[in-house]
Every structure is written in C-alpha cells, then in structure tokens.
Structure 1
C-alpha cells in the first residue's frame, strides 16, 4: 500500500518521456540552476533528448496547467531536476513501476531524500546512502593558493598512464572497481573521451607516475563541474590537492565556463578544507544513493 501523501500527489501529477520536440522546454528548466544541473544539462546540450543518444530517458512532469516544470534523467544514474513534492511523487511512482535500472540516484539533497523514501521499500536496500554532499562553486581563481605549474592536460597518448589513477580514485570513492561487470570497457572509454576532449588534468613525475589528477566531467555554457580529484597515497599531506585544484580551476575559468563547481562527501573534512582554501564556497547540497 502506497503512503496517502504519495497517492494524493500522484493524482495531480502527469509524467511522460520527453521527445526531441520538447528540447527547448527541457533546456529552460535545466538553465534555471546551471550549477546544480550541470551533469544533466551537459548531456542534453550535447545530444538532445533522443533516448538512444542520451543514454537514458528524460521524464518530464507537467503541472496542473500542463506546463513542463520538472525533469528526471533515468539512465545509468537517476537524477532529479527542479522536482517539488508532486513531481517527486510522480517520478517515484514511475520508477517503482519500471523497476531499478540505474546504479545510483544522485541529485539535490531535499528532493532526492524524498524520492528515496518513496522508493526504498521496492528498490532497497541501497549499498550506501550519502545523505549530505556539499555542492561547491566559484567564479574566481584562487586568491590564496598558487596553481601548480606542473599540472597540465593529459595528452592523448597518456590514457594508459592515467588509467590506474582513475581506477584507484573510482574504487576509493564509490567502493567498487569500475572494471567490474564489462571488464571496464565503458569506464575506459569514458576516461579516453575526457582525455581526447582536453578535460583530463594531471601532474606526472619524471618517470610518468600520476601524483595528482582531476577531470572536468560536465560542461555547459553556464558552468562546469570538476570530478575525480585524486592524489597518490604516498604524496598525500603535501598540499598537492590544493595547488592542483587551483591549477585546474584557473584553466577551467579561463577556457571552459564562467562558474566551476564540484560536490564532496560531508565526511571528507580534509578535502572540504582544501577546497575552501582554494576558494570554493558551498552553494547547495547533493545526496547519492549507491546500489
């Protein structure tokens, strides 16, 4: 039996899978908050709403006047966009009927928490729930930390050199290896794509070891999002994350987007302090449900 609040909200909600002609309306919603919506916006801006090219469906929620007012990207990740209580309930009902196909739910903390509360009985248990992940952003280069001059874009011929660092970061962050399942083919393709498009950055030692790396994972006209920040264990405690991030931030603001963002686990106090010194400030919070 569904909770009464779910049933009443569902009665008022209308959802459907969006199609290419809905692109302008979808982009209008995504552009309301360029920082929070960077992940979904970068995909939609690049390929539109065709599910095959998008890598998943885009669900739309229409209010009582028939106006599109919320989105839910349903692909390998499930991400809510601009979803109020009625939209959350409608999307949760659609997700419950369809069954879980994603590896994680990620999005603004409030709506994602409400969404998961409605789905946990049918989709749970989750492997891990990270209920509060501060969303940070800045539009200025670091005023306190000098950029590391040795941090640079990873070259196309260095994909294999940076791959072990990427795998180590992913495994530390998510708790499972990205090489599981398909042997890592999709993950390796993603790393290669970031390198090829000039969105992968690293500091190498003279013998080719990666000691710091980060990527710009999402890019829109309004904002970009840094991901995958990692320092080799034997080099931690030397400030490389701060100087490395200052370098990536400087390049991103100069060449990529006017606002640079990232989100971080609230329990990672060392990383949060480093990002704060670089100049990032909290502008919101995400939540992740990992399966």
Structure 2
C-alpha cells in the first residue's frame, strides 16, 4: 500500500535516503532542500515536496518550487505525486525538470503537452570525478585566471546572464529580464556560487553552480560572449571553478547540455567530463 505525504521538517533523512539512489538526476532536489529546508514559505530554494511512501520508504517525490518549477524523481507513482504537489502548492507552473522520460510524462499528466514552450529538451548528462579533472594549459600556465567576481563587475555579469537566458533558455528580452538577472547574480555573489575568467584584465567567460552539495556540484550558466568563443575560455572557467570546489572537499561534478551543442560537449569532454548514459529533461513554458 502506498501513501502520499507532504514532507515536513523531520523528513529530511527519509528524503535524502531516496534521493541518494538517483544522485545524478536529483541535484536540484538535494541542493534545494539542504539550502532551504522542507518548509515552504516562498523563499528562495523553498518548495512543497510530496512523496509516495511504501513500507516506510520513499519511492517517488515531486517538488514545486518558489520559482514555479516542478522537479520530479518518480520512477513509480509519478502521476500521484505530481498531481498532489500541484494541488498542494497553489503555484502556477513555469517549467518541469527531472529525468527526461519523467518530464515528458509529467507534461501529459498535467495536461500541458500542447502548451507553448521556450525550451523543451532532453539533455545529455555528464559527470566528472574531480581527481580526473584535466586542467587546460592556459589556466595551468596562468595565462588566464579564474576567480570570484568583484562587486563592480556585477552589472556586466547581469547583462551576460540576460544574454544567456535569451540564447540558451529561449527567454524573451523583456524589460524585466535584466533586473531579474541582476537579482540572480547578486544572490550567487552572496553565496560565492559563480566565477569569472580573466585574460589580460578583461572578463572573458563565466560559470556558476546551480546546485551545490558538500561532495558534488552541478554546473550551469556557462557563458562566453560570442566574439570571444573558440578560444578555450569555457574550458578554463569551468575547470577553475572545479579546482576551487575541489579545494573545499568536493569530489564530483555534474552538468547537462543540449544534444546539438557540440561545441559545449567538446569543451566539457576536454576537461574530463563523460556522459553518464542518462538524459535530463528540461521544459520551460512560454510566459
């Protein structure tokens, strides 16, 4: 017999024991609950979590977060946890993320299969044990430097963030995009979750962690301005961020990228990332 439960403070071990069985596809779920707990008061990283429980063990979970994203890890009872979390959260749905097949099924379950999307992808999931990280020569020889951004660089990084959202996530360049990006960049700055690459005193590339745990990080938001591409800057900025993480005890890194983005795949392979064999689904609906 399966029971549905809205998770509350005190259920953290129960949740983590389940998520650890699906490490590579649950970085958002694991990182978010650790950042913000299981209460849902609408703050950054908070969400409502509904789990299916059989024999006192979680076997499926869906979360609906502060940013209106639905995130799933439900190899069984997908419809039950998804419908329950939407009924409970009282939020609109801006997108869906999780294992690719589950994301596709969730669209059907919620009657959103025909809703227009700005992004609808099954992305290749890559993993890297940081002991196998290959340092690009330019970074090793200190021809470029990777570091945390300075406060006076946040305006430029906000513009880069907006450009990334338009190019990579299919967002429209509306008047509220840049302020939203500034807010996101400031939040990353406050928690030291992002890095820049500097060549001859000029910022040339950017990366961030969109999920972070003590032993594993997930890379997102990698950006090189179009005029500066093809110079290996993306490899160096990602490698530099991972060297920083490794120095703090992180053992592994995860990322996902578009199947058709061959340049990004080559860059990530060039520093040691390899496909896990799984695909990560990401849907963002048009606003």
TM class by shorter-chain length? 0.7 to 0.9
Q: Which digits, 9 at most, give the CA deviation of each residue in 1:171-211, with x for residues without a partner?
A: 21111158655x65554232112112222111245565x32
Shift of 1:122: 4.8
Contact 2:123 2:281 in 1 (8 A): yes
Which of 61, 64, 72 is equivalent to 1:80? 72
Runs of 4+ in 1 over 4 A off after TM superposition: 95-100, 177-181, 183-186, 205-208
Which residue of 2 is the match for residue 160 of structure 1? 155
Residues of 2 paired with 1:143 and 1:27: CA distance? 31
SS in 1 for 2:196: strand
Shift of 1:213: 0.3
Which of 172, 177, 192 is equivalent to 2:186? 192
Once the two structures are overlaid, the 10-residue window that deviates more, 271-280 or 186-195, is 186-195
Contact 2:135 2:236 in 1 (8 A): no
Q: CA 1:178–1:205 in structure 2 vs 1: closer, same or farther (change >3 Å)? A: farther
Shift of 1:22: 1.6
The answer to whether the aligner puts 1:46 opposite 2:50 as a matched pair is: no
Shift of 1:115: 2.1
Which residue of 1 is the match for residue 92 of structure 2? 101
Residues of 1 paired with 2:255 and 2:175: CA distance? 26
Which of 1, 4, 16 is equivalent to 1:27? 16
Contact 1:35 1:224 in 2 (8 A): no
Residues of 1 paired with 2:150 and 2:79: CA distance? 45
Residues of 2 paired with 1:180 and 1:24: CA distance? 42
Which residue of 1 is the match for residue 170 of structure 2? 175
SS in 2 for 1:51: coil
Q: Identify unmatched segments of 5+ residues in structure 1.
A: 1-11
The answer to whether the aligner puts 1:55 opposite 2:46 as a matched pair is: yes
Shift of 1:161: 3.2
Contact 2:38 2:46 in 1 (8 A): no
Residues of 2 paired with 1:35 and 1:178: CA distance? 32
Which residue of 2 is the match for residue 112 of structure 1? 103
The alignment's TM-score, normalised by the length of structure 1, stands at 0.83
Q: After the TM superposition, which residues 246-265 of structure 1 pair with which residues of structure 2 at under 5 Å, given as runs?
A: 246-255=239-248, 257-265=250-258
Which structure shows the bigger proportion of residues in strand conformation? 2
Residues of 1 paired with 2:175 and 2:272: CA distance? 36
The answer to whether the aligner puts 1:275 opposite 2:257 as a matched pair is: no
Shift of 1:90: 0.9
Residues of 2 paired with 1:132 and 1:232: CA distance? 25
CA RMSD of aligned residues (A): 2.6
Residues of 1 paired with 2:92 and 2:113: CA distance? 10
Q: Which digits, 9 at most, give the CA deviation of each residue in 1:21-76, with x for residues without a partner?
A: 2222112222223332111111111221001155321111123x353222111122
Shift of 1:129: 5.2
Once the two structures are overlaid, the 10-residue window that deviates more, 234-243 or 109-118, is 109-118
Shift of 1:97: 5.3
Residues of 2 paired with 1:118 and 1:125: CA distance? 13
Q: CA 1:68–1:180 in structure 2 vs 1: closer, same or farther (change >3 Å)? A: farther
Which residue of 2 is the match for residue 138 of structure 1? 128
Contact 2:239 2:271 in 1 (8 A): yes
Q: Identify unmatched segments of 5+ residues in structure 2.
A: none
Q: Which digits, 9 at most, give the CA deviation of each residue in 1:92-121, with x for residues without a partner?
A: 4336757871211011112222222323x3
Q: Which digits, 9 at most, give the CA deviation of each residue in 1:238-277, with x for residues without a partner?
A: 2211222222222222225211111111111111111111
Which residue of 2 is the match for residue 9 of structure 1? none
